[in-house]
A = this chain, B = another copy of it.
Amino acid sequence: MKHKQQRRSDCPISFALETFGDSWSLLIIRDIVYFGKKTYGEFLASDEGMATNILASRLAQLEDKGILVKKSDTTDRRKEVYLLTEKGLDLIPILLEIASWGAHHDPQTRAPQAWISLVNADKAKMVKLIRETVQSGGAVFSGPDSVVCQLFGEK
């Protein structure tokens, strides 16, 4: 669908930004990691309201770049399920730092301060916990196996 664009430089930061450095890619990853979203329709329903064609284009790119894999749902064959690869799961530390910065500098953030403090208190531990949870189909904030449920018990 799209030709391979040549890289801008050999800088690792430039490489990373070519992979996920647009306005939408990290929001898709966020939806997976924090809210357990997995399908086109779920991504589309996010508050930010991205256009249908842009979402389709970004999902395809992220699959191309090896961040996501697409599988058809076993129980409903209309649905496609998008999952993070290892390479995609490796983005979790970046996501946590960005969220921390955003929560700190946005006066009207909706991020729970308790969560941010928890993450900042022991980042390596939280990365591991989130990673394992997401890998086994869970998320940070949603679902019975969410990270917050694991940490604070039944909801």
Contacts and interface: CB of A to CB of B under 8 A. Distances in A.
Interface stretch (A51-59, A70-78, A99-107): A99-107
A137 interface: no
Interface residues of A, number: 42
Contacts of A105: 15-16, 19, 87, 90
A48 B101 CA distance: 26
Interface string A19-54: 101110011001000000000000000111100000
As for how many copies of this chain the complex holds, the number is 2
Contact of A11 (B9, B14, B16, B30): B30
A54 to B, nearest CB: 13
A129 interface: no
Given A26-B21, A94-B94, A16 B87 contact: no
A91 B108 CA distance: 19
A71 B71 CA distance: 53
The CB with the most chain B CB atoms within 10 A, among A13, A46, A91, is that of: A13
Interface of A: 8-17, 19, 21-23, 26-27, 30, 46-49, 87, 90-91, 93-95, 97-106, 108-111, 123
16 contacts: A9-B46, A10-B108, A11-B47, A13-B102, A14-B27, A14-B47, A15-B105, A15-B109, A16-B98, A16-B105, A17-B26, A17-B27, A87-B105, A93-B100, A93-B101, A123-B123
